[in-house]
Structure 1
Amino acid sequence: MVIDDVFTKLAKSTGTTEPPVKPLPIHELPTTYRPPTTGFISKLPASWIPYAELIRLDKPAGTYYLFFPCLFSTLLAAPMAAPMATPVEVLTTTALFFSGALIMRGAGCTINDLWDRNLDPYVERTRMRPIARRAISVENAIVYLGAQLFTGLAILLQFPLPCLYYAVPSLLLVTTYPLAKRVTHYPQFVLGLTFSWGAIMGFPALGIDLVSNPSAVAAAAALYSSCVSWTLVYDMIYAYMDIKDDAKAGIKSIAQAHEHNAKAALSVFSATQVGLLVAAGYFAGAGPVFFVGSCGGAALTLATMIRRVNIKDVKDCWWWFKNGAWLTGGVVSFGLLGDYLYRRTREEPSTVVHHAVLG
């Protein structure tokens, strides 16, 4: 197939090679697929279900993990904007970011499954993905991807123009992660660079010029790095679900690199995440509500997860991956929101006096 040849040439041009597996012939493709009988996508027309599965509509945790860095940066940047961003501006910006996260997470899944279409049939958890089981052809998946990218662009154009310049480079990272799994045991670092991009975007979205604002640049850099560390934590737990099948298929992961010191590695990544979150708050001029709520809350939820997760139990890893988004992401968000609201209430009386003096 011409498009298959294109993907092969792209892989070779990046210096990567496919693991020693071959595409399964039709008679050896997985045959135990059962359409969903519960949930939202079970209500869709049968022909739509593979496309809903391709973008993981039935597994929204990835969308939340992509969205939270956007929310963090919006709430961190809001008090730094001049004038301070209003609640309406924060809400509309947040809604746009969630829409973008939903679309671009789906696009990322499509890109990933296109690259991994010859590997997924060898991994128990992924062998029933639509492209792997040939419910969607490569050509149709690419057309579908194009539609997702155009939709994402339409959402991006609703933001201030500088956001376009900051967002475009992230597309390179989106296409790089599937290749990283073939050459390094730390593809989760590349995933972190990709999923954490939203930690930068909240600043230009609220009109803050990162080029001319050293405090904002430092806060954005620290927040971005903190989110990268968070990705290493949650996706390392996720990678333990496939550690045996990945090794057989020639797929590398951080779980393999730290198979025998998992809790220690998770602790280091978590401590780094919290430390960088503290730095982000310092550079942003955040108050006690942030440091206690966001930083203290993150430390508590991460420590609890690391202590309780059973990395040898697939179901337990999935539970902590799925719910960790809300546990850690939730406390960080509430701390940021509380700090923003507190600082806004302190600003409003001075704004009233300022307007009264000026008439």
Structure 2
Amino acid sequence: MSEGAGRPAPPRRIADDLPDAALRRWPAAVRPYAQLARWDRPIGWQLLLAPCWWGTALVADAVHSSPDVTHLALFAVGAVAMRGAGSTGNDIVDRDIDRAVERTRGRPLASRRVSTRQAAAFLVAQSLVGLAVLLCFDRYTVALGIAALLPVAVYPFMKRITNWPQFVLGLAFAWGALVGWSATAGSLAWPALALYAGAILWTMGYDTIYALQDIADDVGAGIGSTAIRFGRHVRGGVAALYALALVLIAAAMAGVGVGAWAWAGFACFAAHLGWQVARIRRDDTARALTLFRSNRDAGLVLFAGLAIQAWASMG
């Protein structure tokens, strides 16, 4: 018998559950809260921020002005705060489910490193930062931002009743497209709504890729996802979501009459989404995480095209 035979195999680790080196630089007392807010995983707030910046740049194209840099900065602060608040709230609701899922069982609430009361207080503190950012805008935008709390509040419960929780996540994560537009225009127009709808579908697509990491555990825990719903057709499902997203975003851009720079950014964005679809492997969790994270770059490419177009049109 070879050495080590009969020993239990070490638990399988999923890439998104591996400790982040940056986290170890935080004081020990702060680390659980940094994990609750996902400060060690910035991809969440970066994806939340992208539609905000898209809306800001698209409305600048519409009115032939420069994207408001102050707005872009405020949205960045708000994205970090509200992504943290949303993640904390999600962990409060899902603390029992998280204990049953390999990738999430080490989270602070699931592992009982913080109490539910401590997490709730942290949630309130982050929400107040988000509110402070929102109050920097006009009344219409403030009301619009507050309305976003509905899909945010509902999302953690959707995985218990449907295989389409990614749709509700999309409603919440894409909301910034509306706020980004209204912060400059003081109202909404149909291109903002088209951009919002496109961002919802983009979110559904990339979060389906993310959910590939959890299929086995999610099925065992009795919770749903579009990755489960699409099954062996997941590549086609993501392709359809991305294709519809591109149609709607292109309609929004055409609606404001953008120029060549914006369309160049859109072409690069579309190519990136196509590259993702071509590389999807249902049983490759490491690749799924890499593809999911690559959407930060896809979002930035589209923003860059819209922003450069706005700046070029001023010359």
Taking structure 1 as the reference length, the TM-score comes to 0.81
| Contact 2:141–2:182 (Cα < 8 Å) also in 1 | yes
Q: Deviations over 1:184-234 (max 9, x none)?
A: 100000000000000001122113432xxxxxx111011000100101110
- Farther off after superposition, 229-238 or 161-170: 161-170
Q: Is 1:316 paired with 2:298?
A: no
Task: Report the equivalent of 1:110.
Answer: 88
Deviation beyond 3 Å, 4+ runs, structure 1:
34-37, 84-87
Task: Report the equivalent of 1:231.
Answer: 203
Of 185, 194, 197, the match for 2:172: 194
Give 1:333 shift: 1.1
Q: Is 1:277 paired with 2:255?
A: no
Task: Report the equivalent of 1:66.
Answer: 48
Task: Report the equivalent of 1:141.
Answer: 119
Q: Is 1:344 paired with 2:314?
A: yes
**Which structure is higher in RCO with an 8 Å CA cutoff and minimum separation 6?**
2
Percent of aligned positions that are identical: 38
Question: Aligned partners of 1:198 and 1:180: how far apart in 2?
Answer: 21
Structure 1 segment 7-86 matched on structure 2, within 5 A: 38-39=21-22, 41-81=23-63, 84-86=64-66
Structure 2: gaps spanning 5 or more residues: 1-10
| Contact 2:65–2:310 (Cα < 8 Å) also in 1 | no
Question: Aligned partners of 1:117 and 1:338: how far apart in 2?
Answer: 44
Which is greater in Rg? 1
| Contact 1:157–1:164 (Cα < 8 Å) also in 2 | yes
| Contact 1:238–1:318 (Cα < 8 Å) also in 2 | yes
Give 1:292 shift: 2.9
| Contact 2:140–2:186 (Cα < 8 Å) also in 1 | no
Structure 1 segment 109-258 matched on structure 2, within 5 A: 109-210=87-188, 217-258=189-230
Corresponding pairs, count: 301
Question: Aligned partners of 2:281 and 2:273: how far apart in 1?
Answer: 14
Question: Aligned partners of 2:18 and 2:210: how far apart in 1?
Answer: 24
- Farther off after superposition, 306-315 or 275-284: 306-315
| Contact 1:196–1:224 (Cα < 8 Å) also in 2 | yes
Equivalent position SS for 2:294: helix
CA RMSD of superposed structures (Å):
1.8
Question: Aligned partners of 1:113 and 1:100: how far apart in 2?
Answer: 20
Task: Report the equivalent of 2:274.
Answer: 303
Question: Aligned partners of 1:42 and 1:157: how far apart in 2?
Answer: 34
Give 1:37 shift: 7.4
**Structure 1 residues 258 and 334: CA distance shift in structure 2, 3 A:** same
Question: Aligned partners of 1:325 and 1:233: how far apart in 2?
Answer: 13
Equivalent position SS for 1:46: coil
Question: Aligned partners of 1:208 and 1:78: how far apart in 2?
Answer: 13
Question: Aligned partners of 1:37 and 1:259: how far apart in 2?
Answer: 31
| Contact 2:53–2:303 (Cα < 8 Å) also in 1 | yes
Task: Report the equivalent of 1:351.
Answer: none
| Contact 1:35–1:42 (Cα < 8 Å) also in 2 | no
Question: Aligned partners of 1:246 and 1:209: how far apart in 2?
Answer: 41
| Contact 1:118–1:132 (Cα < 8 Å) also in 2 | yes
Question: Aligned partners of 1:176 and 1:100: how far apart in 2?
Answer: 20
Question: Aligned partners of 2:47 and 2:182: how far apart in 1?
Answer: 21
